[in-house]
Amino acid sequence: MHKTFYRTLERLLNDIDASTGDEQMLDAVVNELVTGEETAHFGIASGRVYRERTTDFVLIESIGEYGEAIEGKAVPKDYAPVRHLLERRHWISTPDSPEWDQDVEEQFTHLKNAAIAVGQNPIYILAFSVEQEDTEELLIMLESIRAAIGLKLRQGALESQLRQAQAIQMSLLPRQLPEIDGFDIAASTLPADEVGGDVYDVQVLDPGMVGLLLADASGHGLPAALQARDVVVGMRMGQTHNEKITSLVERLNQVVHQTLLTSRFITLFYAEIEDTGNITYVNAGHCPPLLFTGSGEVFELQTSGPVLGPLPDAVYRRCYMTLRPGEMLVLVTDGVLERHPPGKEADDLSEGEEFGPDNLVHVCQTHRDEDAAQIAAAVLEAVREFGGGAPLADDVSVVVVKRRPQAGEQMQESLTPLRPVGGSPT
């Protein structure tokens, strides 16, 4: 085989890899093989693309020979050469082929056919009318193209599934957060992949009361996204039935335990917030939320139970706090705190090199007087910049709850301080 063959094959495979759109890709391949100067030595007189239907294959593209005049014609699935093609994925059809039917063949060509079948649901047939007797090089070319197209179509199917999963996940996130009198609440998330394992939710439970959720499924990508979806659905079902906060989380933990691999888990922070500022919450192994007092001090809310999944009989403690006017609660997932600096991997990090709570506190204090949405956006931007704009290694999410200021309120008490005011960011 000469160098022209390999150059042609390489270019066609590169074009397939770079293509977008299944049928446009197939049309381009057929057009190149029929009309390309480098493929003239194959003796291809015409080419056709057929799309699978219920009982037949319909011709959707015809180049050369009869041209567009025959587009729309169909060949039955039970036609013998078609059956053989589908079994073997490639087939040469001549008057000497088993059950060759001249009436069927002459609708499309007066020459012998070399054809390949590609894809699934639907299957496509690429058929070529060949004038010369020796088809060895052409068959090698078509087999290589068939393999490349198969990979491209599978990639396209996977990307389509990911887009659908992304649409499902985004549909679970509230398009607009419900309002509660005297509060400003905002949330934002950035997945590391097309879909992510972080999820937040805010739902009205009663007049003047909302349920707020932030959860993080271990890992990222589609498996984590499916687990996060189950958490949102499970929590909403429990909220509908007015379950107590601890029994709701414990029941959800049992469901997660039954559906997850033992190596996977979900962290969760769930709070029920009243317009009086009273908050009841459960923290299931999640990053401790940060409370910013009106006087500038910072406290963390302690964990009240283990992560969801590994322990089916885990018990979760109900905790209480009051968010007073002028105070702010900031929740994040570990993708924020564990963001790497440029050029660093997790195994290479020294203590204090991650984005960490110090940087989070610094950003929130700097933007303290802005609204909740601006503070959340500032945190996400700081995380991006800290990583030098590199792709995220994990999903990142931020939820900000601010209680609008009023006069005459006292500072929050009885919480464990995270640090004295003035901790230095990285």
pLDDT top residue among 165 and 321: 321
- Name the domain boundary from 164, 197, 228: 164
pLDDT of residue 409: 47
Band of the pLDDT at 410, cuts 50, 70, 90?
Answer: very low
Q: Which of 54-58, 188-192, 300-304 is modeled with the greatest confidence?
A: 54-58
Residue span of the structural domain in which 88 resides: 3-164
Do 148 and 237 share a domain, yes or no? no
pLDDT of residue 145: 77
Structural domain total, the chain? 2
Express each pLDDT in 330-351 by its tens digit. 999 999 999 988 877 666 666 6
Is residue 260 in a domain? yes
pLDDT of residue 228: 81
Do 115 and 149 share a domain, yes or no? yes
Please say if the pLDDT value at position 12 is more than 80: no
Q: pLDDT averaged over the chain? A: 84
User: In this structure, what is the dihedral angle of CA atoms 232, 236, 237, 242, given to the nearest 10 degrees?
Assistant: 140
Is residue 243 in a domain? yes
Is residue 85 in a domain? yes
Mean pLDDT, range 280-288, rounded to an integer:
95
Is residue 316 in a domain? yes
Do 133 and 64 share a domain, yes or no? yes
Residues in contact with 347: Cβ distance below 8 Å, sequence separation at least 6, in sequence order: none
Which of 14-18, 67-71, 118-122 bottoms out in mean pLDDT, i.e. has the lowest? 14-18
Percent of the chain residues topping a pLDDT of 90: 48
Which of 6-20, 98-112, 336-350 bottoms out in mean pLDDT, i.e. has the lowest? 6-20
Say if CB 6 and CB 38 are below 8 A apart: no
pLDDT of residue 141: 73
Is residue 130 in a domain? yes
**H/E stretch holding 396:** strand 396-403
User: The whole model's pTM is what?
Assistant: 0.64
Is residue 426 in a domain? no
Do 182 and 153 share a domain, yes or no? no
